[in-house]
Amino acid sequence: MTGENESKFTRKLAVYSGITALLAFIACNGLIVVTAALAMFGFTFNVNPHVQAILISVFAILTSVLVYKGFLQHRKTGPLLLAAAGALVIVLTLYISYSKLIESAGLFALVVAAGWNWQSARQKSSGN
């Protein structure tokens, strides 16, 4: 890749990692809010917790993979370690011993890692 195409690619990966981190957050907390809001208007549906756990896990792992792809471009280990730790905490919490507080901490770590990855990609593309 040329330099400009590489920096565009890095920025796109950083944006995608942020989107997937937000999707993990929405899959965890957003479904509860949507279900409650729809129930106020008389629409009810059940959310299978196993499907919800799979969605959260997939988005968390995908965020980590995209942060890793960003790491290959900007070589800053902080976002990668934070994303990996966040995804690991989320998956372990969902499948080993559930705790809403610990799961939320993992989601927070994932969102912070995606933001840090985006900031690192911006610095790399601007040449700093």
Q: Give the Å distances, CA to CA, from 126 to 68, 80, 116.
A: 20, 21, 15
**Would you kindly state where each structural domain of the chain is located, as residue ranges?**
3-123
If 0-12 CB within 10 Å is exposed, 13-18 middle and 19+ buried, where does residue 104 land? Answer: middle
pLDDT in tens, 32-57: 888 888 889 999 888 889 999 999 99
pTM of the model: 0.87
Instruction: Determine contact, residues 79/120, Cβ cutoff 8 Å.
Output: yes
- The pLDDT assigned to 34 comes to 84
pLDDT in tens, 71-96: 998 899 999 999 999 999 999 999 99
- The pLDDT assigned to 2 comes to 62
